[in-house]
Structure 1
């Protein structure tokens, strides 16, 4: 039977290759979309935690999409927060979401206070020296060929000079002076949020939260510890994340299902006499079903192997071509994609297998 299954696949090489590649495409679609979605999410978590703050304070309710909100906080609130007991550093940040050649965030920062949260590690250059200076991280520098300190870069439709290149992982990939951001966005004296570095004991953070919420004008503000904010950066807290993921996975599964169904259904119709011969030799319905399903599993396994290998190759290519793109291929999703592909293939082959098993041997032997 094993020789028969392999022989059937080798006898129709083009159909076998197309079927295997359809499963491979299914796997690549699932893993690639998940890798991009989770890569962006995990990258955001890593960059936010790398800022060095212990607490985040901003107007309005807590939200995982806080970085897309407008700058509605008065910068002078930083002076109020700095006077609270157990607060060591307060840094106002103005965050601007841009959609140029790619979607990215630009941070307007007060360098001294932002650097005090956790110091920048400069690869080259140094801090701001003027209002039109720009700090970028090393991944952003690598993504732009031949970009060095002293070069001119257009950000937010304004020309900046790169004054420093820092190691990645501290909030954003591009930083400009806070006052410059306020002027460009026509919002003088405003900020999006405040990062606080506090004394480490959790009870101090609760005391700080209570003090802030009992301060006039700040009663409706959101006050979160860094751990609380990072816990909101999950698929369940991002609108449409899980829906988009399920839609893409469903489409990929349907593609794999339909190709396997068409391939195995056609194969069963072409092998009617072969099935008749097997039945006349004593093969039962279970044996016939087994032949079709085992052939399907062999095709699916080949396709899965190709798909997983191609996804890791794609990750290497994207990492080399787009250093700033987070492409997170995780082991758990590799196994999930394998399970989804196998299940789709088995469902696609199930009806053709039953049809083959139910053929009457006399009719099958007389089939022309």
Structure 2
């Protein structure tokens, strides 16, 4: 009887029930989407940067480890010659990076400048990372870019498509695999001109002859070029967490606000429920219903609304995830 009484109360006031459910669902969506988006973007970007094929990333001092916080173009390319001469170094290649906000202001998007022709001082990005063109062709001019499969799918791009980046129109030359570094790559020389950083890069990828000797190679680099930052690619995912120290604080605030909103919605719903049913509660008491019976019925109603709200929140969060993955490059 107690279960049917609580269910009858929910069905008797559908507007209040639905409003309460949506209030709780809002809190659930806020927690799942915000935390998932923040953590997911950093994790996925960190994994892509980890897969660049090099064991060491050499960049200017003062950056916090992850490219998201790095100065776009601050490192002289001339360092490649000295790095190439260090014992244990197999190959090096400079890269440029530029961070901009993602589509619709969601997340961020990284553009990468790469070298596609080797010199005496450095090799190509493809030689170190192992990326290959699976559709279209490699870069043939400074007005072209290559993109990975995921970016091409979400942006509906194909070889020959045109896209505006850095206030400049580029043509998509090809689509590459596997995912490595930024999803969009252009020639480093073109990025230097667009950003006014001739002769500069963001970082230098260092490939070792023996990956097991990368610590010793890093020590030799530090001895020859002190004061710069040396990052092991295996540690990049953890650098992203530490590269934004305020992220955890922000997420705690979001979670706290969402929980507060959900709790207030439940309290308001139950308060309204009790004040609306003063007459009904009096009738129940006159019929012999105990205080425990009445309180239990109200609590069951609150639990039912909470459970339904959480379920709706999960569904909405999942739909949001599908939309983000389908219509953005995250």
Deviation of 1:250 (Å): 2.4
Higher RCO (C-alpha under 8 Å, 6+ residues apart): 2
* 1:247 and 2:253 aligned: yes
Deviation of 1:208 (Å): 1.1
Total equivalences in the alignment: 319
Task: Determine if contact 2:134/2:176 at 8 Å carries over to the other structure.
Answer: yes
Distance in 1, matches of 2:240 and 2:165, equals 27
Q: Match of 1:6?
A: 7
Distance in 2, matches of 1:150 and 1:271, equals 68
Deviation of 1:281 (Å): 5.5
Q: Which deviates more, 115-124 or 96-105?
A: 96-105
Mark the runs of 5 or more structure 2 residues left unpaired by the alignment: 117-122
Task: Determine if contact 1:139/1:168 at 8 Å carries over to the other structure.
Answer: no
Distance in 2, matches of 1:276 and 1:163, equals 77
Q: Match of 2:94?
A: 92
Deviation of 1:297 (Å): 0.3
Distance in 2, matches of 1:10 and 1:99, equals 46
Alignment partner of 1:209 out of 218, 230, 240: 218
TM-score by length of 2: 0.88
Instruction: Write out aligned runs for 1:131-210 (5 A).
Output: 131-145=142-156, 147-167=157-177, 169-202=179-212, 204-210=213-219
Task: Determine if contact 2:32/2:317 at 8 Å carries over to the other structure.
Answer: yes
* 1:120 and 2:127 aligned: no
Q: Match of 1:27?
A: 28
* 1:59 and 2:39 aligned: no
Distance in 1, matches of 2:161 and 2:7, equals 61
* 1:333-357 deviation per Cα after TM superposition (whole angstroms, max 9, x unaligned): xxxxxxxxxxxxxxxxxxxxxxxxx
Q: Alpha carbons of 1:39 and 1:258: their partners in 2 closer, same or farther (altered >3 Å)?
A: same
TM-score by length of 1: 0.80
Distance in 2, matches of 1:317 and 1:100, equals 14
Task: Determine if contact 2:126/2:132 at 8 Å carries over to the other structure.
Answer: no
Task: Determine if contact 2:96/2:191 at 8 Å carries over to the other structure.
Answer: yes
Distance in 2, matches of 1:9 and 1:156, equals 55
Distance in 1, matches of 2:51 and 2:164, equals 26
Q: Match of 1:106?
A: 111
Q: Which deviates more, 294-303 or 306-315?
A: 306-315
Distance in 1, matches of 2:101 and 2:305, equals 42
SS of residue matched to 1:289: helix
Distance in 2, matches of 1:319 and 1:229, equals 23
